[in-house]
Amino acid sequence: MQWTDEGIVIGVRRHGEASAILELMTREHGRHLGMVRGGFGTRMKPILQTGNSVSASWRARLDEHLGNYTVEPMRQRASDFFGASHAIYGVTHLAALMRLLPERDPHGDLFAEFERILDRLEDAVWAAPMVARFELQILTELGFGLDLDQCAATGATGDLIYVSPKSGRAVSRLAGEPYADRMLRLPAFMRDGTGDLAGAPVGRDLADGFALTGFFLSRHVLEPRGQVFADERMHFIAALTRALPNVA
């Protein structure tokens, strides 16, 4: 068995004295592991950093085997993240989100968005809404997508500002107002898909966006697996609070 694909490093751990078990999110083969001989050597270690893009060739005698990777660098963006604390935490959080996906299950659209976010992760104004919507996309890919297109109570498609924590469906202002204290807030940017929020009053909206996705990721994905969010998500949001003072 053999294939070659483009991948983004989402994890690496030592194997033996100098080799590494490399975990990639690949464009066509999904989340995939393999061994890299000499992966912790001086030449390969800078390449195998979370967030870097590589060209990877995987080979194994049988498809179910761990197999071996041969990798070549494509874009070594990991070092760029050290200039912004939110980017350091952000890339680790994004990698953790990708590890929620089933192994060897292709998610081409998710890969493309992952790559797009990494290329803009240093810019907090862009990264914050992109990561919040990426969490929403993860929910959809895992089969727990939220219905944000029309009101669960009336069928209306306008003025949707709440989400029911029970159903995961949008609720309009009029229908949800009597139950506002029990509803999750739905910021507009989580529905309209636009990325350019420069100049907009995004502070509370971003906080509400992360609260929304965090609630459903915890309920549907993490808790059933006996997991919780890693600290990097909390640190990422806190770093955004410092970079964008109106996020809190």
What is the CATH number for 69? Answer: 2.40.50.140
70 domain residue, yes or no: yes
Tell me what pLDDT residue 199 has.
Answer: 42
Tell me what pLDDT residue 248 has.
Answer: 44
Print the domain residue range for 92: 81-148+186-243
Residues 95 and 207 in one domain: yes
Tell me what pLDDT residue 64 has.
Answer: 87
201, 246 in Cβ contact below 8 A?
Answer: yes
Split into its structural domains, the chain has a count of 2
Q: What's the Cα-to-Cα distance from 28 to each of 10, 64, 69, 108, 244, rounded to whole Å?
A: 15, 17, 15, 6, 36
Residues 22 and 133 in one domain: no
Tell me what pLDDT residue 229 has.
Answer: 96
Residues 71 and 122 in one domain: no
Global pTM?
0.92
DSSP states of the chain: -EEEEEEEEEEEEEETTTEEEEEEEETTTEEEEEEETTTTSTTTTTTS-TT-EEEEEEE-SSTTS--EEEEEEEE--GGGGGG-HHHHHHHHHHHHHHTTSPBT---HHHHHHHHHHHHHTT-HHHHHHHHHHHHHHHHHHTT---B-SS-TTT---SSEEEE-TTT-BEEEHHHHGGGGGGSEE--THHHH-----TTS--HHHHHHHHHHHHHHHIIIIIGGGT----HHHHHHHHHHHHHSTT--
135 domain residue, yes or no: yes
Tell me what pLDDT residue 131 has.
Answer: 95
Residues 63 and 117 in one domain: no
Residues 230 and 119 in one domain: yes
Tell me what pLDDT residue 195 has.
Answer: 46
Residues 16 and 62 in one domain: yes
159 domain residue, yes or no: no
Q: Could you say which residues of the chain have pLDDT below 50?
A: 195-201, 247-248
Among 42, 76, 110, the domain boundary falls at 76
Residues 60 and 98 in one domain: no
Among 52, 76, 100, the domain boundary falls at 76
Among 12, 46, 76, the domain boundary falls at 76
Tokens of 53: 């893009």
**Per-residue model confidence as pLDDT tens digits over 72-122:** 999 999 999 999 999 999 999 999 999 999 999 999 999 999 999 999 999
Residues 49 and 125 in one domain: no
Residues 45 and 89 in one domain: no
Residues 132 and 39 in one domain: no
Residues 71 and 89 in one domain: no
